[in-house]
Amino acid sequence: MGDYLQVSNAYNQAVVIPSRLPWTRRCFCLAVCALMAWILPCVAALGQSAGAAQAAASPQAAADAAAGHGRILMVLPFDNKTGQPSLEWIREAASELLSSRFASVGFAPLSRADRLYALDHLGLPQGFQPSRASALKLSQTMDVDAIIVGSYQTNGTQIQVQAQIVDVPRLKMGGAIVRSGELRNLISVFDSLAWQLTRQLDPGFSGAEETFIAAGANLPLPAFEQYIRGITEPDQAERVRHLQQAVKLSPELSVAWMALGREYYAEQQYEQAAGAFEKVSGNDADALEAGFYRGLSLMFSGSYTKAESAFGGVARVLPLAPVLNNQGVAISRQGHDGTALFRQAEAADPTAADYHFNLAVSLKRHNDAAGASAELAQYLKMRPNDSEGQQLETAWKQQAGASTVEPLERIVRGFDAVAFRQAAVMMDQMEASRLASLSPEQRAHTLAARARDFFSRGLLLEAERLYQTAVATDSRAEEPHEGLAEVRERTGDAVGARREAQAALELKPTAGAYLVLARLELAANDLDDATRDAGEALKLIPNSQAAQDVLRQVSARQGQSRQ
């Protein structure tokens, strides 16, 4: 908790004096809006944080990170050259898919909201599609590292997509990268394109194309289409209809639940909003924002106990002042004492007047009149013309006993995504410092453990990246090779999986590596080899269910063969 509070305090100091931000990058639109001068550096830093631990792992890893990771990218909607209005939705789908993959491998792609904000302030339409000349001109105005532009066309059931990278610092547009495939396999076509673009952006990138394609393999195209239509449709009712259809077709599609929750919340349908936000996966980039708005939705619908729990879940990850404050309000609305949380919120951000107000009200309610008066006085210094504060001060001075004035603590109603990004960066920087203090062997083990967590959650690109960094950190560690073997197996790369499993076994016998080989041999119907490797796994882990499953399948196939 000490580190978390340090993050909160550091963040709030940075907001007061933006020039003190140690991770500040060049702002996104220098002459457009002062706000962008600190929003987009946070986006850049968030991408850098994802690779910070890896950069600390070894000089080579640091060089690789510097080559590509952490760079700000903007993916513009692709140009629809099909002549078919029904395929217009693919314009935005291209940006969403590519940005998602770029984020997974350590870049910092601008969100759709950031992109729309910037284009709007440059006087450009949302669907702006530049020519080669205008793309280069745009790059001089937009202070990002690279802009991705592209187009798509169809030929019967085939789709062909092409993209180019505008290297902003060099004012140079790269050659076209082309990918094609069946229209029904649109997601894998764009995943393959993302892999090629990543290799061009970072020549040192060694991730496998199969991992990119596997990352989107479980995303149903009809559901994804409905999601895209749901975030681009101008009519609110139509947006809701498309998003409802998206989550019906794919109940695990977190981004669609998040968008649907926002729509419900904007329309003050708080019970529906809370239900939608609850469906957002903890793996999703919007998970903290979903938790925050779920807490607000529950608060506004009167479910204070559940609201307290929702805010508490967010606070356990990043206990910033707005979250602590709202958790305190939820506790107070249940008739309990939220003073401790109001104190933490005020300590985290002493410049926010409402936190002083809330602490004053809570202290007064719990019989600390002197403390309440002091906090109210501090509040009125910040907001001397606030009528409610003035009336409360008068009432408290006129009454020696309990006040008849019972104001309610104030709720922070907006999620400050920038605050959470900055705090996440700080936490990652502190974690990177801790990682750098470890020996290469310990660092490799820590990175492999994190990678395994990503792998268990189905985040294959993130897992692969950390495993590869662990290998670069300690070439004698078998654990990262074993993990890469499992990633390769999951993505259908049997040759790569066998190679990594054998590399792990050359360093040290592990049950996991033997099991990868056993499953590969079973798939190839090499039953004797599968039996041998499953047996080796059982020697290392006698109660291994996975090894026993392999042996049972071998036995079943042998029985079928005899019959």
Encoding tokens for residue 37? Answer: 């001068």
Element (H, E) at 109: strand 108-109
Q: Side-chain half-sphere of 100: how many Cα atoms within 13 Å?
A: 23
Q: What is the CATH number of the domain that holds 379?
A: 1.25.40.10
Domain hosting 411: range is 321-415
Encoding tokens for residue 52? Answer: 């910070």
Would strands 79-80 and 172-173 be described as parallel, antiparallel, or unpaired? Answer: unpaired
* Whole-number percent of the chain with pLDDT over 70: 83
Secondary structure of residue 173 in the 3-state scheme: strand
Q: Where are the beta strands (DSSP E) in 116-167?
A: 146-155, 158-167
Write down the residue that tokens 């580190």 correspond to: 3
Model pLDDT for residues 73-127, shown as the tens digit of each residue: 999 999 999 999 999 999 999 999 999 999 999 898 988 888 888 778 778 777 6
User: Is 350 among the domain residues?
Assistant: yes
Position 427 pLDDT exceeds 80: no
Q: Can you spell out the DSSP letters for 212-230?
A: HHHHTTTS-HHHHHHHHHH
Structural contact between residues 77 and 114, judged by C-beta atoms closer than 8 angstroms: no
pTM: 0.81
CA angle 403, 409, 410 (to 5 degrees): 140
- Tell me how far apart the alpha carbons of residues 36 and 141 are, in angstroms, rounded to a whole number: 13
The predicted structure's pLDDT at residue 118: 77
The predicted structure's pLDDT at residue 150: 95
The predicted structure's pLDDT at residue 328: 97
Q: How many structural domains is the chain composed of?
A: 1
User: Is 328 among the domain residues?
Assistant: yes
User: Is 510 among the domain residues?
Assistant: no
Model pLDDT for residues 387-423, shown as the tens digit of each residue: 999 999 988 888 754 445 678 899 999 877 766 767 7
Secondary structure of residue 149 in the 3-state scheme: strand
Please state, as a whole number, how many other Cβ atoms lie within 10 Å of the Cβ of residue 543: 7
Element (H, E) at 74: strand 72-75
User: Is 298 among the domain residues?
Assistant: no
User: Is 377 among the domain residues?
Assistant: yes
- Tell me how far apart the alpha carbons of residues 79 and 50 are, in angstroms, rounded to a whole number: 31
Amino acid 270 reads: Y
* Phi, psi (rounded to 5 degrees) for 107: -80, 175
How many helices and strands (H and E) does the chain possess? 27, 7
Please state, as a whole number, how many other Cβ atoms lie within 10 Å of the Cβ of residue 59: 9
User: Is 278 among the domain residues?
Assistant: no
User: Is 183 among the domain residues?
Assistant: no
User: Is 371 among the domain residues?
Assistant: yes
Model pLDDT for residues 19-68, shown as the tens digit of each residue: 222 222 333 332 223 223 322 333 333 333 333 333 333 433 433 333 34
Encoding tokens for residue 390? Answer: 């003035």
Q: Find residue 149's DSSP bridge partners.
A: 164
CA 375 to chain centre: 37
Model pLDDT for residues 276-288, shown as the tens digit of each residue: 999 998 878 889 9
